[in-house]
Amino acid sequence: MINFRNSTILCCLLILIASSCSCYSEVLISVSPKTLVKSGDSVTIRWSGVESPSKLDWLGIYSPADSSHDNFIGYVFLSSSPGWEYGSGSISIPLVNLRSAYQFRIFRWSEEEVDDTRMDDDHNPLPGTAHVLAESEEVGFETGRGPEQVHLSLTGQDGEMRVMFVTHDGKESFVRYGLARKNLDQVAGTRVGRYEREHMCGAPANQSIGWRDPGYMHDGVMVNLKDGRKYFYQVGSDTRGWSNIYSFVSPDRNSKETIAFLFGDMGTSTPYNTFLRTQEESNSTIRWIIRDIQAVGDKPAMISHVGDISYARGYSWLWDTFFNQIEPIASMVPYHVCIGNHEYDWPTQPWRPDWAVPIYKQDSGGECGVPYSLRFNMPGNSSEPNGAIAPIGGKD
């Protein structure tokens, strides 16, 4: 016998559930290629089946691939793709090797869901993650291709050149160098440094939203260099692969000419939106310096980047982006830096001049100079003491 009363209640419950459910038809997403060779290589994300497309529908970029929805490293609106109005499209994005896999997710976001309490650095609302429509397969980088983020600096000693680079595991790596591209007959070992999440002194640097594994920083010194000569070098190992071959011109003690590029506050550029405003204009700076270095020819030169380096401010993948962006110039000429408020400042820092307290406050985003001090090694003592427990870099 049918119980009409119970059937009526069940029917009402089903109607209530259906009316409150944010249900969408299946959205298809694909990525190609699934394996990239090096930083700067692009992945293409394609999608179809987005019903009633909105200008606020967006693509989230995640690394590691298992990051929670709110912990994206960046996002792009689907409306940046031609034909998005028909529910399908594609976007190509160059990626930086963060030593972990990427994943891409499509979200539906409406104007009614804009949250004025979740803003980026420019006071634009961050996209909502309540309605995920699709998640891609993972995208990674080939192993055995050698280190990245190669950059040079002087040591303060005649006949020397320092080179630093990043690996994912910190295993033994070397620098081999010489006066001929096909005869890298000298070898230098490297020491390894690293910082951890607990070394950061505040948010977002020590939170899941900002922290990403920074890899291992290798530091080697090429010695017994002849004055004013062009040297070739590469970094890595036989077991884990070697980098490309780079070149530089060694300093000349007898030269009466000094060629230097001086600037500050450059930052870095990303091909996506993120929690901070990134500096698209930095791309022009790099292009101009490459042009001028090539015009200089085989003469020694150097770069002095005076403070406010990457503007990462607690979002660690921006350091990786910065070093990959400067590698074309920093692998050719010594790249020298000094610390700025956007690397150092935090209320607990020991160096706090009275004039800076009401102005800068938390400008480092909780980094407190730690990434700066481990990723660079400048001649002498170039780093201010900090309030974190990580070792201070900047001196031998």
pLDDT in tens, 355-394: 666 777 888 999 999 999 999 999 976 555 565 655 444 4
Residue 28 above 60 pLDDT?
yes
Amino acid, res. 258: T
Query: From CA 135, how far away is CA 306, in angstroms rounded?
Result: 42
Q: How many of the other CB atoms lie within 10 Å of CB of 49?
A: 15
- DSSP run (H or E) holding 374: helix 370-375
Residue 36 above 90 pLDDT?
yes
Residue 121 pLDDT grade (very low, low, confident, very high; cuts 50, 70, 90): confident
Residue 83, Cβ density class (10 Å: 0-12 exposed, 13-18 middle, ≥19 buried) = exposed
Residue 324 above 70 pLDDT?
yes
Residue 8 pLDDT grade (very low, low, confident, very high; cuts 50, 70, 90): very low
Residue-wise pLDDT tens digits, 158-167? 999 999 999 9
Residue 351 pLDDT grade (very low, low, confident, very high; cuts 50, 70, 90): confident
Give the count of alpha carbons within 13 A of 265, CB side only.
Answer: 1
Amino acid, res. 6: N
Please give the distance of CA 297 from its chain centroid, rounded to a whole number.
30
Contact predicate 93/124, CB 8 Å: no
Task: Scan for tokens 């007898």, then name that residue.
Answer: 254
Q: Coil, strand, or helix at residue 293?
A: helix
Could you tell me how many helices (H) and strands (E) the chain has, helices first?
5, 20
The token duo for 30 is 């694909």
What is this structure's pTM?
Answer: 0.90
Query: From CA 394, how far away is CA 396, in angstroms rounded?
Result: 7
Query: From CA 91, how far away is CA 330, in angstroms rounded?
Result: 30
Of 11 and 51, the one with more pLDDT? 51
> 320: closest CA among 168, 157, 163?
168
Q: Coil, strand, or helix at residue 236?
A: strand
Q: How many of the other CB atoms lie within 10 Å of CB of 332?
A: 21
pLDDT reported for residue 380: 78
